[in-house]
Every structure is written in structure tokens, then in C-alpha cells.
Amino acid sequence: MRKKQLVLLSFLAIGSFFCGSCEKDIKTPGVFEPLYLDFSVSDTLGNQYTGDSIIIPSTANMMVFKITTNCSWSAKCQNKAGLSGWMSIPSSPRGGGDATITSTVSNNKTKNDRKVYYSVIAGDSAIVKTVVIVQPHVVAN
């Protein structure tokens, strides 16, 4: 009986050691909360966007990204080769928890559509959400 108690206490001690090492990442000690990440996209012109690929106006405006997460995150804007500079880097490239970030978009006065990959990465790359943003060219009259 004494041996069983000793073994049980050993398992409890080892278990609390492993749970204690994760304590900074969870809200309630001993309860695992899975990572989650989501973000919504809108602009200052009043448009709301959904989907993995969106088309935005050719006019200048500001894109708004509302991030919902329970962990640290980073955001990046990756322009298609040769088209850099038309959408600014995120106003806050990293943070933790829920946040709202913005990127400024310039007018598209070119003869080509422009494309950018906007990504939010949660934690240590555990979750990556990417939206492809396309800004069409201005059609000449």
C-alpha cells in the first residue's frame, strides 16, 4: 500500500512539473486552451471584405485588419515582385491578443492589377492566415 502511495505521489509531482511549465500560456492553471486566430478586413471607405482573396477599390484608402487571437502574433505584407510600395507595412507588425492594425493603400494609376499577400501569424507560426488583396488597374475611357 505504501509503495502505491509513493508511486502515485511521484506521478502527481511529475505531472504538476509539466503543467507548471505551460502555465504562462494558459488562463486557468491545469486547463489547456487551444490557440486560435482570426481576422476580418474592412477599409475606411466603409467596405467589408470576406474570403481568402479580395478585390479592393483602385482609389487610395486605408485597410483595417481586426485580429482576434489568444496569443502573440505578427503581421506582414508581401507585395508581388516589382510592385512594392503600393500598400504600406502593417501599422503594428507584432503584438499579443486582440488588436486592430491598418495599412495605407495608394491609388492604382498603372495599367496593371496589383496583388499583395497579407498574413497574420499566431504564436510560433502555429497558425497562419493569409488573404490575397488585389487592387485593379484604372480602366481608361
What is the C-alpha separation between 58 and 55, in angstroms, rounded?
A: 9
Look at residues 135, 140, 139, 138 and name the one whose alpha carbon lies nearest to residue 83: 135
Task: Note the pLDDT of residue 119.
Answer: 94
Task: Note the pLDDT of residue 23.
Answer: 37
Judge: domain 34-135, CATH 2.60.40.10: yes
Task: Note the pLDDT of residue 82.
Answer: 53
Task: Note the pLDDT of residue 86.
Answer: 87
Task: Note the pLDDT of residue 4.
Answer: 52
What is the C-alpha separation between 36 and 34, in angstroms, rounded?
A: 6
pLDDT along the chain (141 residues), means of 10: 50 42 51 88 95 93 95 89 74 95 92 92 90 88 60
| Joined grid coordinates for residue 109 | 494609376
